[in-house]
Amino acid sequence: MQIVMLAYPDMTQLDLTGPFEVFSRFPEMKIEIVWKGQDPVRDASGLRIIPSTCLADSPPADILFVPGGPGQLALMEDEEVLAFLRQQASGAAYVTSVCTGSLVLAAAGLLTGYRATCHWQSLPQLYLFGATPVSERVVIDRDRVTGAGVTSGIDFALVLAARIFGDELARAAQLTMEYDPKPPFSGGSPVHAEPSLTQTVVAAAAEFQALREAAARRAAAKLAG
């Protein structure tokens, strides 16, 4: 079982490292982290991760995975990356993403006609690509499996691993990772957060979200045209 995880500049590293940790607990899972070259990829906060291989040398994915993060804007208009994703998706058993990684899949046309999720702030942008946004932590629609924002990657990966390797092994992985979360606050999603907190977070991100939506509109127009 080969998972190909895309890494890219200005990604949100936990979108990738959360699922990486889960998948690495299954001996049958072979993991490649791929990008254009093998120079370090610097995430949105400066963490530097080295890809294990480049796009051209990537093995065929059984699971294709795309993380999210600010760098996703550029990827939505990067024909080399979109072509890579389309080509890999055509042979993959699962086409997957976490956070705004789903907007990259969508820009490649890979979520058109599918139910999917995304970081809560960007979820409606999936409409632009003919996908159906679903406000759940993990969404499975046929062979598309998507996770919501950042930390949902751990839930996403455990759900997918349970599907592939069975509940028993997934439970063992969860226990080994001591995944019995106890968030200090209850408002980790807008469903549970104080409206005033959500308002503050939305306001702080407004400028960047406008850029993201503009990029999504351009990508959607290109996909349609």
Question: Could you tell me which of 139, 129, 2, 142 has the C-alpha nearest to residue 60?
Answer: 2
Would strands 144-147 and 138-141 be described as parallel, antiparallel, or unpaired? antiparallel
Output 68 or 109, the one with its CB closest to its own copies: 68
Q: Does 199 bind its own copies (CB under 8 A)?
A: no
Shortest reach from residue 79's CB to its own copies, in Å: 28
Does the CA dihedral 13-16-19-22 come out positive or negative?
negative
Q: Which among 22, 41, 55, 99 is annotated as catalytic?
A: 99
Contact pick of 89, 150, 164, 215 for its own copies (by CB under 8 A): 150
Burial of residue 131, with CB atoms counted within 10 A of its CB: 0-12 exposed, 13-18 middle, 19 or more buried: buried
Contact pick of 28, 45, 83, 210 for its own copies (by CB under 8 A): 45
Which of 82-90, 124-132, 179-187, 209-217 is the region at the interface with its own copies (rule: CB under 8 A)?
179-187
Helix axes 13-23, 152-165, angle to 10 degrees: 30
Distance between start and end Cα atoms, the chain: 36
Shortest reach from residue 164's CB to its own copies, in Å: 13
Output 118 or 128, the one with its CB closest to its own copies: 118
54 is catalytic: no
Which of 53-61, 83-91, 147-155, 214-222 is the region at the interface with its own copies (rule: CB under 8 A)?
147-155
Contact pick of 86, 87, 187, 213 for its own copies (by CB under 8 A): 187
Would strands 115-116 and 30-35 be described as parallel, antiparallel, or unpaired? unpaired
**Residues designated as active site:** 99
